[in-house]
């Protein structure tokens, strides 16, 4: 009889870790061989000295897993989580992001080699780009972790101070190097490294100040937010403002990176109007100082009046900065200075970063004005105080993150390259809309729909028909601009959702998924087969879909000049959809969807008309596809049935699951992250290997965080248990007598 020989668990674990490190070595670096030597990539990845580093990572993973009971108390100590975040940010900054656009691939290594071969540059730059960055990247995190592990406060303070010094040094050295080399530079590698070092300093401060043995990150964040609502936004805004006013590039018309001071000197005596001249000369500093002082006073004194005054002053300051950016670029184009042919061209990041800073400080003032006013607990008890701090911290955190995100959405895209502006509007924004719609069907109602892309196709072809872009033309009275086609496209997709849902909602689970999958393929095949010469077959639309136009007689605006125009149109549409769906989630219909998702039989027994409610989920979810189809068709102009294949439906499902099913913000985050990742990997790995990396991200996410990036509270509680959640620990709940029930 054959006896199976089993290896000891430790040996098996070690082999698995070493095997994973070999796979990682093959994923990182050159993956492609050549027609003459198919094993070239394997030998360069594995049969080389570099494999030793990856094997050491495997051994480290083995030790951590094997001795996790010993490691866990140290890993859970205060300061470890920000330390991990800081290391990830720094690794991304030094190895993935660009530091200088005009030079080769623009990454840190390329810039470091160029600095080493350049004489006459700042001596400190040779030190930083030569060996200091390696010492900082390895030594500071290790020193901070040692301080956390042995609870040495003095060492923690030293590491925090050194991290701040390196953060400032990074910006100074980068700015001097870019100014010495010249050229238009919109890179964010140095800024990202600056943020990473500041996060590392924060980890040191937390380790030095904390008295706890185990980190309570969520409670700590909520306590900080409730202490002075808006204060983190004020601090972040002041840091960004100083960066914009002192180091950032404001104008680069001829490849030279001009700071605010340089730009002011350039336009001195050039005929620039008084307001723009004042902003460049002294008013920008005054406005920023006034907004910062008002914001700091508002959050410290908890004054509503000062908070709203901060928001108003920030809004006026942003308008002044935007007017100045328009004025200087318009004047430069008129006088033939640089390559610009009109306003808003050849700008650097400085003006936009200052707008983000002002918006962030203004948002901090608004948060201070809107701070939570909870009910007081019983006289002399601490439960009321704890409950107020908990609620205030949570609401302030959500509000602060949302406002900061709005500021980035408004003022970051102009600093991005043309490729990323195009990607924001045509890929990321459109799929965010689709994910929001599918989240209604899958996340809220619990219905698996694999043919959602069909409604997207219907919305796009409806737009093409109404704008005379198909072989079959509409009546003259029905020919519309894309903006006016939005309600019709939404209505057509809503009707299509009803027609699909009516005969199929008796099915559940896998059967419903198969039917919806078939529906998606039917729509695509109909478009390919071109019945009645309506869709123009596989060639797509016959004429380009026109760009949207608003013509009210006294004002006319036409999209299509740049991708940024579509981005801001998309922001308006997204804001409307998010507000409507947020209200819908908390409505009676939203609660009915939640009941069906949890238990359809129980919901029906409770009086919910399940057929009607599920039909409305299909219809409302499909309506957002109509809106996305109008936007997509009008921006790209040309499309064909290959834009609506089954793979895209599956991708949208993955976006919703990755972000967090049932969470509106999670669906947005999941779609944004997974549509951004392939474009980001374009410059990092060969095109053939992007899918491998995306698959690895999805695999890791589903193993370690199956609830998604930003999950709904109920789903997070189901997958992780109630431990760590406030459902069982809220003092206000515990204080209710058992006889009254909860």
Low-confidence ranges of the chain (pLDDT < 50): 1, 372-391, 722-742
Burial class (CB in 10 A: 0-12, 13-18, 19+), 731: middle
What residues contact 242, with CB distance under 8 A and at least 6 apart?
none
User: What is the DSSP track for 374-400?
Assistant: PPP-STT-SHHHHHHHHHHHHHHHHHH
Closest residue by Cα to residue 213 from 78, 75, 79, 81: 78
User: Where do the domains of the chain lie?
Assistant: 9-65, 78-215, 217-415, 421-575+590-647
Output the six-digit token pair for 28. Answer: 């990182």
Q: What is the pLDDT of residue 152?
A: 86
Query: Global pTM?
Result: 0.79
* Whether 102 contacts 181, CB under 8 Å: yes
Compute how many other C-beta atoms are within 10 angstroms of the C-beta atom of residue 597: 20
Whole-number Cα distances in Å, 516 to 450, 451, 609, 648: 6, 5, 22, 14
Compute how many other C-beta atoms are within 10 angstroms of the C-beta atom of residue 22: 15
Query: Crossing angle for the helix pair 51-66 and 9-27, nearest 10 degrees?
Result: 140
- List the Cα angle 642/648/652 in 5-degree steps: 155
CA 405 to chain centre: 8
Reduced to 3 states, what is the DSSP secondary structure of residue 158?
Answer: helix
Whole-number Cα distances in Å, 568 to 176, 358, 548, 666, 680: 34, 19, 13, 22, 22
Rounded distance between C-alpha atoms, residue 500 and residue 518, angstroms: 11
CA 414 to chain centre: 16
Rounded distance between C-alpha atoms, residue 300 and residue 306, angstroms: 10
Q: What are phi and psi of 558, to 5 degrees?
A: -125, 130
Residue for token pair 């996060």: 199
CA 396 to chain centre: 20
Whole-number Cα distances in Å, 602 to 529, 614, 621, 662: 45, 15, 24, 19
Q: Residue 534, CB half-sphere, CA atoms under 13 Å: how many?
A: 11
Q: What is the pLDDT of residue 101?
A: 77
Closest residue by Cα to residue 62 from 132, 127, 9: 9
Reduced to 3 states, what is the DSSP secondary structure of residue 258?
Answer: strand
Residue for token pair 């294949």: 645
The DSSP H or E segment spanning 503 is helix 482-504
Output the six-digit token pair for 292. Answer: 């910062």
Q: What are phi and psi of 555, to 5 degrees?
A: -145, 140
User: What is the DSSP track for 259-328?
Assistant: -HHHHHHHTTTS---HHHHHIIIIIHHHHHHHHHHHHHHHHHHT-HHHHHHHHHHHHHHHHHHHHHHHHH
Output the six-digit token pair for 21. Answer: 């490190």
CA 227 to chain centre: 27
Residue for token pair 């997974």: 674
What residues contact 626, with CB distance under 8 A and at least 6 apart?
455, 458, 459, 462, 486, 489, 490, 491, 492, 493, 494
Reduced 3-state DSSP string for 82-99: HHHHHHHHHHHHHHCCEC
Output the six-digit token pair for 339. Answer: 């390559």
Size of the chain, expressed as the number of residues it contains: 742
Closest residue by Cα to residue 249 from 150, 179, 145: 179
Rounded distance between C-alpha atoms, residue 107 and residue 92, angstroms: 11
* Whether 213 contacts 132, CB under 8 Å: no
In angstroms, the first-to-last Cα distance of the chain is 63
Output the six-digit token pair for 469. Answer: 């872009």
Compute how many other C-beta atoms are within 10 angstroms of the C-beta atom of residue 427: 17
DSSP 251: B
Q: What is the pLDDT of residue 271?
A: 78
Rounded distance between C-alpha atoms, residue 249 and residue 258, angstroms: 5
Rounded distance between C-alpha atoms, residue 263 and residue 249, angstroms: 9
CA 561 to chain centre: 25
Whole-number Cα distances in Å, 426 to 73, 329, 430, 562, 628: 46, 27, 6, 12, 10
Rounded distance between C-alpha atoms, residue 465 and residue 590, angstroms: 34
CA 288 to chain centre: 27
CA 697 to chain centre: 16
């Amino acid at each position: 009889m054959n006896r199976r020989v089993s290896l000891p668990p430790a040996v098996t674990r070690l082999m698995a870790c070493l095997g994973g490190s070999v796979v990682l070595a093959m994923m990182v670096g050159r993956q492609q061989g050549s027609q003459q030597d198919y094993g070239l990539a394997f030998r360069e990845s594995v049969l080389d000295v570099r494999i030793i580093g990856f094997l050491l990572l495997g051994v480290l993973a083995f030790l951590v897993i094997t001795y996790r009971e010993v490691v866990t108390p140290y890993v859970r100590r205060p300061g470890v989580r920000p330390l991990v975040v800081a290391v990830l940010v720094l690794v991304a900054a030094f190895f993935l992001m660009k530091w200088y656009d005009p030079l080769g691939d623009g990454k840190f290594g390329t810039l470091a080699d160029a600095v080493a071969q350049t004489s006459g540059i700042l001596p400190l730059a040779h030190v930083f780009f030569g060996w200091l960055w390696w010492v900082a990247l390895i030594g500071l995190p290790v020193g901070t972790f040692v301080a956390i592990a042995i609870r040495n406060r003095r060492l923690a303070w030293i590491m925090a101070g050194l991290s701040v010094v390196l953060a400032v040094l990074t910006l100074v050295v980068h700015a001097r190097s870019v100014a010495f080399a010249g050229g238009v530079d919109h890179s964010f590698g140095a800024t990202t490294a600056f943020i990473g070092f500041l996060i590392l300093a924060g980890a040191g401060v937390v380790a030095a100040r904390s008295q706890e043995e185990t980190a309570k990150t969520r409670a700590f964040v909520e306590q900080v937010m409730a202490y002075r609502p808006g204060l983190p936004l004020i601090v972040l805004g002041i840091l960004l403002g100083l960066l914009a006013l002192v180091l950032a590039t404001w104008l680069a018309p001829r490849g030279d990176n001009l700071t605010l001071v340089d730009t002011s000197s350039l336009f001195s005596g050039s005929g620039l109007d008084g307001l723009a001249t004042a902003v460049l000369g002294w008013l920008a500093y005054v406005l920023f100082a006034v907004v910062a002082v008002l914001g700091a006073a508002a959050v410290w004194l908890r004054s509503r009046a000062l908070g709203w005054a901060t928001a108003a002053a920030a809004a006026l300051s942003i308008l002044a900065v935007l007017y100045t950016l328009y004025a200087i670029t318009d004047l430069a184009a008129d006088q033939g200075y640089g390559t610009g042919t009109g306003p808003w061209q050849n700008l650097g990041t400085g003006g936009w970063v200052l707008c983000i800073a002002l918006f962030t400080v203004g948002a901090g003032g608004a948060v201070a004005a809107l701070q939570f006013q909870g009910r007081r607990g019983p006289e002399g008890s601490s439960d009321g105080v704890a409950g107020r701090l908990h609620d205030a911290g949570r609401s302030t955190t959500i509000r602060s993150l949302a406002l900061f995100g709005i500021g980035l959405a408004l003022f970051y895209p102009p600093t991005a390259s043309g490729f990323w502006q195009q990607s924001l509007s045509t890929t990321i924004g459109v799929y965010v809309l689709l994910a929001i719609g599918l989240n209604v069907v899958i996340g809220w109602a619990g219905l698996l729909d694999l043919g959602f892309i069909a409604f997207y196709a219907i919305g796009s072809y409806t737009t093409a028909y109404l704008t005379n872009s198909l072989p079959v033309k509409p009546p003259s009275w029905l020919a519309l601009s894309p903006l006016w086609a939005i309600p019709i496209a939404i209505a057509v997709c809503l009707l299509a959702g009803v027609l699909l849902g009516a005969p199929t909602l008796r099915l559940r689970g896998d059967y419903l998924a198969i039917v919806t999958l078939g529906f998606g393929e039917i729509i695509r095949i109909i478009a390919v087969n071109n019945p009645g010469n309506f869709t123009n077959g596989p060639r797509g639309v016959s004429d380009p879909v026109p760009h949207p136009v608003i013509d009210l007689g006294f004002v006319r605006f036409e999209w299509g000049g740049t991708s940024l125009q579509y981005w801001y149109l998309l922001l308006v549409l997204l804001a409307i959809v998010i507000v409507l769906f947020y209200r819908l989630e908390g409505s009676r219909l939203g609660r009915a969807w939640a009941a069906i998702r949890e238990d359809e039989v129980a919901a029906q027994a409770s009086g919910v008309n399940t057929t009607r409610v599920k039909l409305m989920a299909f219809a409302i979810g499909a309506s957002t596809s109509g809106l996305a189809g109008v936007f997509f068709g009008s921006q790209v102009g040309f499309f064909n049935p290959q834009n609506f294949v089954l793979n895209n439906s599956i991708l949208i499902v993955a976006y919703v699951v990755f972000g967090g099913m049932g969470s509106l913000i999670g669906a947005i985050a999941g779609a944004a992250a997974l549509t951004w990742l392939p474009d980001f990997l374009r410059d990092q790995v060969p095109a053939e290997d992007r899918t491998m990396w995306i698959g690895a991200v999805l695999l890791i996410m589903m193993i370690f965080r199956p609830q998604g990036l930003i999950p709904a509270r109920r789903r997070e509680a189901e997958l992780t248990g109630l431990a760590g959640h406030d459902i069982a620990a809220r003092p206000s709940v515990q204080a209710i007598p058992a006889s009254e029930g909860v």
